[in-house]
Amino acid sequence: MPTIQKRYAILFKKRQKETLTDTDYEELIALTSYIENHNAQRLSYVIELSQIRNTTVDDVIANLELKPTKIIG
């Protein structure tokens, strides 16, 4: 698991336990934003590829066997 995902998982668990410090909270917000932007960019590439292939996004996802990024757990 990449470092970003590990750190996010740690902070997420701390949030669930209500043990986040203010610094942890700011880091969690920053990581959440980074992950959301990464996922949005990934989706835009899939959409672009579906347009190039003249097919649906679902077909591209199925053909490439794409899976959601697992961050927690």
Q: 57 near 46, Cβ under 8 Å?
A: yes
User: What are the residue boundaries of the structural domains of the chain, listed by start?
Assistant: 3-64
**19/46 Cα distance (integer angstroms):** 38
- Give pTM, 2 decimals: 0.78
pLDDT at residue number 70: 72
Helix, strand or coil, per DSSP, at residue 66: coil
Torsion angle in degrees (nearest 10) through CA of 11, 7, 35, 45: -150
Going from the first residue of the chain to its last (73 residues), give the mean pLDDT of each consecutive group of 10, the final group possibly shorter.
Answer: 84 96 97 92 97 97 89 61
CA distance 14 to 19: 5
Q: What's the pLDDT at 31?
A: 95
